[in-house]
Amino acid sequence: MIWQLDLAILTLVVITGIGAIMVKDLLGAAILFGAYSFMMCLLWSIMGAVDVSFTEASVGAGVSAVFFVAAVFRTTRRTKD
């Protein structure tokens, strides 16, 4: 585990996590959530949990981002609050 890399990815996790809930554009929030998942996937693989990382990459960053985009496509792109 390289601590510089760890710190950089952890910072990005926090930034994308806060960004995903602050952004008004829901499509942007979906993409930020995908980025967050991908950063978590990198973190898992740094910690040696390759199976978890694989699941996170395929489910979190892949399919659930597509589900969010599909849901945004069928509803609205702006949040009310």
Q: How far is the CB of 32 from other proteins (least distance, A)?
A: 19
Identity of residue 44: W
Contact predicate 72/27, CB 8 Å: yes
Q: How far is the CB of 55 from other proteins (least distance, A)?
A: 6
Q: Give the footprint of other proteins on residues 1-60 (CB under 8 A).
A: 1, 47-48, 50-51, 53-55, 58-59
User: If you search the block for the tokens 């910690």, which residue do you land on?
Assistant: 47
Tokens of 66: 């597509």
Question: CA 70: distance to chain centroid?
Answer: 16
Interface ranges with other proteins (CB under 8 A)? 1, 47-48, 50-51, 53-55, 58-59, 62-63, 66-67, 69-71, 73-74
